[in-house]
């Protein structure tokens, strides 16, 4: 590509880089979660949410289990101010939930922010100013000392206004554009803010390290976080928070490595909504932990509902391949994938497995409210016999013989291929019924009777080409007798290879299903199925269905 020479690495590695975090292999407990859907998420929408939508979304975030929720920048607009007041005045904030509000380090903005919090029980006031080289030089045109003074003066104002306010008010500071800031300077400005606030065990503060713009590979961000964690003053009384953005597509990795590196808290949004490429996706991050046996302390047991609420209030669409929440993330169209999933599910049934290890499925879809028959096995021209057979069994109770599954699979895939579309479970079932079940032409079954003896004697009445035939045969079983009657009376030649039957329902008048496979003299296999309340009638219908397949092929 052209112009590659104009780009450089704009981040700063810490002066000490021990990478202790790299020796850990998983996150062993959930962080403190803070949803910023109502601020970062909302300001990134083409049409921001209305007051009513924001109120509904806030209550849903509470339902999911968020204990900290950033609700806005009250001094930025009347809408944001009114929303904060509505939450407080309508008593919509549970006692165990803390709202968070954002403010710049300017006194009139800080004053307005504290006015918006009058009567609140628990709140975090989030102070920020930008610290990166690019922002200092190009935007603010200030020295390092002047940037530190902005932060320190803001910290003092927060402390002053909080002393005059009611409620439990905590502080948070963000060196915005942290990832483009020299690490020694980022540490210095945060420690000077901490010196003003003097956090204690009873009154801890939050230091937030935002990847306002993601500028490096995730291990660099983790090393930056580790350096800050190791060198912040009052560390035991500081909640170290991360706020990753997704410019490089690395927000999840940044968060996971950052937690390994010492972070305690994550700010993000549902499904990663946010400016540019978005914030870190808390749904993915939480369910990644869940997939490794760690309780994320958020309730995502009904992902379809989460998606529905999110899409309705934000007017945004969750991408079909979005991890966990996307419509197709558990879908298997490939025949080999479907076969492996079906066998894995069967293995679980047979071995009473403690742990989830089904191929291609990192978690059990049912644990997050997804269904196997509509979400996992999806049928199109790329599907295989295993997936189609599994769907027919799980959705409709049809336990096809192994060899029949392959024949049915080719038939269903052919229909999908010719129609150029995915088939729904009901459409797959209808293909099976149409091509295999109680096939009534050219041989039409009318009735059958059996007489026991040393061998079974069968009398079978059928119609073909406008004529009725009374056929007789004998064999070592009823189906064998019917088979011999058909071959003798209709001048047919075949061998019965497979017979299987089972009940479809429970009860004396329930439907039963039988499957029969026959082979012609040239070695071709044909399959039929029969359904009837009488199992013997179902068996005869299955045999005649297979014979009709053979005659049609001839």
Ligand-binding annotation for 449, yes or no, is: no
Neighbouring CB atoms inside 10 A of 382's CB total: 18
Task: Give 410's contacts (C-beta < 8 A, 6+ positions apart).
Answer: 385
The three-state (H, E, C) secondary structure of 415-460, written as one string: HHHHHCCCECHHHHHHHHHHHHECCCCCCEEEEEEEECCCCEEEEE
Asked whether 243 and 210 are in contact (CB, 8 A), the reply is: yes
Asked whether 184 and 222 are in contact (CB, 8 A), the reply is: no
Residue 419: φ, ψ to 5°:
-90, -10
> Can you spell out the DSSP letters for 280-305?
-BHHHHHHHHHTTT---SS--S-HHH
The residue behind tokens 């070695």 is: 523
Asked whether 279 and 246 are in contact (CB, 8 A), the reply is: yes
Residues, the chain, total?
A: 554
Give 249: exposed, middle or buried? Use CB within 10 Å, 0-12, 13-18, 19+.
exposed
- Which residues pair with residue 169 across a beta bridge? 123
Which of 196, 112, 182 is CA-nearest to residue 154? 196
Ligand-binding annotation for 418, yes or no, is: no
Ligand-binding annotation for 29, yes or no, is: no
Ligand-binding annotation for 40, yes or no, is: yes
Task: Give 537's contacts (C-beta < 8 A, 6+ positions apart).
Answer: 448, 530
Q: Name the 3-class secondary structure at 120.
A: coil
End-to-end Cα, the chain, rounded Å: 62
Q: Which DSSP state fits 173?
A: E
Give 230: exposed, middle or buried? Use CB within 10 Å, 0-12, 13-18, 19+.
middle
d(C-alpha 356, C-alpha 430), whole Å: 33
User: Could you tell me the two tokens for 417?
Assistant: 């291929």
Which of 25, 32, 124 is CA-nearest to residue 84? 124
Chain center to CA of 143 = 46
Binding-site annotation, residues for Mg(2+): 40, 243, 245, 279
Binding-site annotation, residues: 40, 243, 245, 279
């Amino acid at each position: 590509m052209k112009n590659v020479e104009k780009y450089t690495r704009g981040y700063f590695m810490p002066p000490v880089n021990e990478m202790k975090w790299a020796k850990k292999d998983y996150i062993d407990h959930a962080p403190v979660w803070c949803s910023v859907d109502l601020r970062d998420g909302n300001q990134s929408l083409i049409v921001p949410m209305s007051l009513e939508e924001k109120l509904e979304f806030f209550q849903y975030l509470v339902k999911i289990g968020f204990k900290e929720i950033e609700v806005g920048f009250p001094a930025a607009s009347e809408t944001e101010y009114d929303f904060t007041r509505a939450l407080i005045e309508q008593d919509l904030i549970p006692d165990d939930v803390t709202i968070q509000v954002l403010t710049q380090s300017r006194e009139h903005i800080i004053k307005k922010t504290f006015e918006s919090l009058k009567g609140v029980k628990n709140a975090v006031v989030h102070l920020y100013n930008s610290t990166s080289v690019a922002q200092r030089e190009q935007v603010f045109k200030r020295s390092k000392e002047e940037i530190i003074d902005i932060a320190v003066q803001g910290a003092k104002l927060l402390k002053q206004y909080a002393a005059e306010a009611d409620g439990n008010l905590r502080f948070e500071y963000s060196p915005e554009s942290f990832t483009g800031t020299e690490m020694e300077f980022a540490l210095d400005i945060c420690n000077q803010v901490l010196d003003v606030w003097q956090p204690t065990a009873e009154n801890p503060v939050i230091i937030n390290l935002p990847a306002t713009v993601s500028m490096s590979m995730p291990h660099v961000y983790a090393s930056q976080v580790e350096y800050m964690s190791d060198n912040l003053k009052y560390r035991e009384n500081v909640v170290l928070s991360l706020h990753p953005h997704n410019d490089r597509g690395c927000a999840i990795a940044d968060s996971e490595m950052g937690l390994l590196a010492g972070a305690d808290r994550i700010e993000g949004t549902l499904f990663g909504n946010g400016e540019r490429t978005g914030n870190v996706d808390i749904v993915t991050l939480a369910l990644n932990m869940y997939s490794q046996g760690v309780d994320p302390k958020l309730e995502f047991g009904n992902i379809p509902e989460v998606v529905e609420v999110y899409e309705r209030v934000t007017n945004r669409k969750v991408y079909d391949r979005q991890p966990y929440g996307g419509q197709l993330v558990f879908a298997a169209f490939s025949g080999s994938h479907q076969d492996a999933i079906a066998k894995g599910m069967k293995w679980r049934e047979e071995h009473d497995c403690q742990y989830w290890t089904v191929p291609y499925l990192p978690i059990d879809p049912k644990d997050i409210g997804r269904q196997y028959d509509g979400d996992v096995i999806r049928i199109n021209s790329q599907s295989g016999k295993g997936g189609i057979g599994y769907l027919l069994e799980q959705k409709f109770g049809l336990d096809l013989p192994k060899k029949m599954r392959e024949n049915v699979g080719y038939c269903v895939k052919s229909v999908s291929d010719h129609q150029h579309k995915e088939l729904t479970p009901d459409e797959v079932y209808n293909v099976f019924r149409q091509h295999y079940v109680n096939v009534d032409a050219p041989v039409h079954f009318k009735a059958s009777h059996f007489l026991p003896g040393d061998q079974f004697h069968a009398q079978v009445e059928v119609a073909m080409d406008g004529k009725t035939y009374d056929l007789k045969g004998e064999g070592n079983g009823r189906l064998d007798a019917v088979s011999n009657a058909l071959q003798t009376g209709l001048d047919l030649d075949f061998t019965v290879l497979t017979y299987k039957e089972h009940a479809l329902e429970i009860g004396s008048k329930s439907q039963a299903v039988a499957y029969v496979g026959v082979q012609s003299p040239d070695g071709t296999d044909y399959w039929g199925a029969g359904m009837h309340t009488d199992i013997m009638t179902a068996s005869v219908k299955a045999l005649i269905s297979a014979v009709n397949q053979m005659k049609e092929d001839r």
